[in-house]
């Protein structure tokens, strides 16, 4: 409460309290574009490459690209197309769950939480099923670029991530070209053939946008499902309550986004001017880190913040960020996690955690177990 803004030894500024994070996320003087850094940040800046996707752009370019990417989903804020996926998600979830039935032990990550969102996002975009394993390998390599294994040179990892991202962009660009000539009802066809009043995405914009959607749709939802089951198995009363009152599942998912969020912090904000926060001036051009996970447990904002309460009210967490970059895929991620938890709660009868705490991935940004063994 006394030191709401911290300056790290490496010169980066860190903010982790609710009101201050909210103010910065809604401040147009705070940029998401790493090209506004006074000095390049070798830990996250790719060495070369195309202009960033809209998660790394500021308005008005961010707004134009986000709106173009959103158009195939229907009118803004309408759950239309996503809600229509409910049946498909339930079917995939049920098939994966059937594969677990009767097994004496299984890995929730590899056997359920990973294949569900990956299959859904690939289907939605229009990646043919035979290419999904390759897309998965690329996406995994890109996301591993965020990991910091203690005994490894991060440079090699980032280089591999960069190469995988380029290969993915190339692949999606070629697929979009095919859909331009023979469209189907997938999102790639819609994006490739878009020519509404705001014009179309250029080929390069299409490539970086679809790579962003595939990657963003890959790892985060996996972690939310896994963190969710881990939290419920550690809180058996909450698990029993959800079994008895399934109508609480949506609010339990919101609570998981607050209590165990997959995205711990946003590493890529930069002030475009000197900005005063809680009496401290954060200088223009320096790296600014917003610790969303800490903001979502700020005791000034959330009563009893370290308690997992599946029926918590007024839960305006930062699990999906806030402001102009708030998560584009939130309706899909919510639906997938609600269905996944419902399926798992009904399937698992007295399951045990075989290893607690589980092995976590080495990423400071993304929090989630690498494997979660249940029996």
Does 73 help bind ligand HEM (rule: CB under 6 A)? no
Within 13 A of 338's CA, how many CA atoms are on the CB side? 17
Does 164 help bind ligand HEM (rule: CB under 6 A)? no
CB 42 within 8 Å of CB 304: no
CB 11 within 8 Å of CB 287: yes
Does 18 help bind ligand HEM (rule: CB under 6 A)? no
Residue 300 vs residues 14, 20, 319, 322: alpha-carbon distances, Å: 18, 12, 17, 18
The two tokens of residue 373 are: 């063994």
Does 114 help bind ligand HEM (rule: CB under 6 A)? no
Paired sense of beta strands 13-15 and 288-290, if any = parallel
Distance CA 360, CA 358 (A): 6
**Interface pattern 40-69 for ligand HEM (x via CB under 6 A):** --------------xx----------x---
Select the span of 172-180, 276-284, 299-307, 324-332 touching ligand HEM (CB under 6 A): 324-332
Residue among 262 and 295 whose Cβ is closer to ligand HEM:
262
Residue among 53 and 141 whose Cβ is closer to ligand HEM:
53
Does 116 help bind ligand HEM (rule: CB under 6 A)? no
Within 8 A by CB and 6+ apart from 265, the residues are 289, 290, 291, 292, 293, 364, 365
Instruction: Kindly compute the dihedral angle of the four CA atoms of residues 225, 333, 265, 325, in this order, to the nearest 10 degrees.
Output: 180
Does 89 help bind ligand HEM (rule: CB under 6 A)? no
**Interface pattern 247-286 for ligand HEM (x via CB under 6 A):** ---------------xx--x--------------------
- State which of positions 200-239 bind ligand HEM (CB under 6 A): 212-213, 216-217, 220-221, 224
Does 136 help bind ligand HEM (rule: CB under 6 A)? no
Element (H, E) at 144: helix 132-144
Residue among 55 and 239 whose Cβ is closer to ligand HEM:
55
Distance CA 97, CA 81 (A): 25
Assign 3-class secondary structure to 277-289.
Answer: ECCEEECCCCCEE
Interface residue with ligand HEM among 116, 135, 327, 339 (CB under 6 A) is 327
Select the span of 71-79, 144-152, 178-186, 317-325 touching ligand HEM (CB under 6 A): 317-325
Select the span of 91-99, 100-108, 226-234, 313-321 touching ligand HEM (CB under 6 A): 313-321
Work out how close the CB of 273 gets to ligand HEM at its nearest, in angstroms, rounded to a whole number.
Answer: 19
Residue among 100 and 327 whose Cβ is closer to ligand HEM:
327
Beta strands in the chain (DSSP E): 5-7, 13-15, 30-31, 106-107, 266-271, 275-277, 280-282, 288-290, 373-374
Select the span of 132-140, 230-238, 304-312, 321-329 touching ligand HEM (CB under 6 A): 321-329
Residue among 92 and 236 whose Cβ is closer to ligand HEM:
92
- State which of positions 328-367 bind ligand HEM (CB under 6 A): 328-329, 332-333
CB 340 within 8 Å of CB 112: yes
Does 146 help bind ligand HEM (rule: CB under 6 A)? no
Residue among 81 and 159 whose Cβ is closer to ligand HEM:
81
Q: Tokens 């996250």: give the residue.
A: 44
Does 126 help bind ligand HEM (rule: CB under 6 A)? no
Element (H, E) at 136: helix 132-144
Which parts of this chain interact with ligand HEM (CB under 6 A)?
32, 54-55, 66, 121, 212-213, 216-217, 220-221, 224, 262-263, 266, 319-321, 325, 327-329, 332-333
């Amino acid at each position: 409460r006394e030191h709401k803004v911290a300056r790290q030894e490496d010169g980066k500024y860190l903010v982790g309290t609710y009101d201050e994070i909210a103010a910065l996320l809604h401040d147009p003087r705070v940029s998401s574009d790493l090209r506004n850094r006074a000095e390049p940040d070798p830990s996250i800046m790719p060495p070369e490459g195309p202009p960033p996707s809209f998660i790394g752009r500021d308005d008005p370019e961010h707004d134009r690209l986000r709106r173009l990417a959103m158009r195939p989903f229907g009118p803004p804020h309408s759950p239309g197309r996503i809600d229509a996926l409910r049946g498909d998600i339930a079917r995939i979830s049920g098939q994966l769950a059937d594969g677990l039935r009767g097994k004496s032990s299984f890995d929730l990550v590899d056997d359920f939480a990973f294949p569900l969102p990956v299959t859904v996002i690939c289907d939605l975009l229009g990646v043919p099923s035979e290419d999904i394993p390759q897309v998965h390998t690329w996406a995994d390599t890109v996301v591993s670029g965020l990991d910091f294994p203690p005994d490894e040179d991060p440079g090699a990892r980032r280089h591999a991530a960069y190469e995988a991202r380029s290969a993915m962009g190339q692949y999606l660009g070629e697929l979009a070209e095919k859909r331009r000539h023979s469209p189907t009802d997938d999102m790639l066809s819609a994006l490739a053939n878009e020519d509404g009043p705001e014009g179309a995405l250029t080929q390069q914009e299409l490539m970086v946008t679809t790579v962003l959607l595939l990657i963003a749709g890959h790892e985060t939802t996996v972690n939310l499902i896994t963190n969710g089951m881990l939290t419920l198995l550690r809180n058996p009363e909450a698990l029993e309550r959800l079994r008895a009152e399934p109508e609480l599942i949506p609010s339990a998912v919101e609570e998981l986004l607050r209590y165990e969020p997959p995205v711990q912090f946003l590493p890529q904000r930069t002030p475009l001017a000197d900005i005063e926060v809680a009496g401290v001036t954060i200088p223009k051009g320096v790296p600014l880190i917003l610790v969303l996970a800490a903001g979502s447990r700020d005791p000034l904002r959330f009563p009893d913040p370290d308690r997992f309460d599946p029926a918590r009210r007024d839960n305006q967490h930062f699990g999906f960020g806030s402001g102009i970059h708030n998560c584009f895929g939130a309706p899909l991620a919510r639906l997938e996690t609600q269905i996944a938890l419902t399926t798992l709660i009904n399937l698992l009868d007295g399951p045990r955690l075989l290893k607690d705490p589980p092995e976590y991935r080495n990423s400071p940004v993304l929090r989630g177990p690498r494997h979660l063994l249940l029996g």
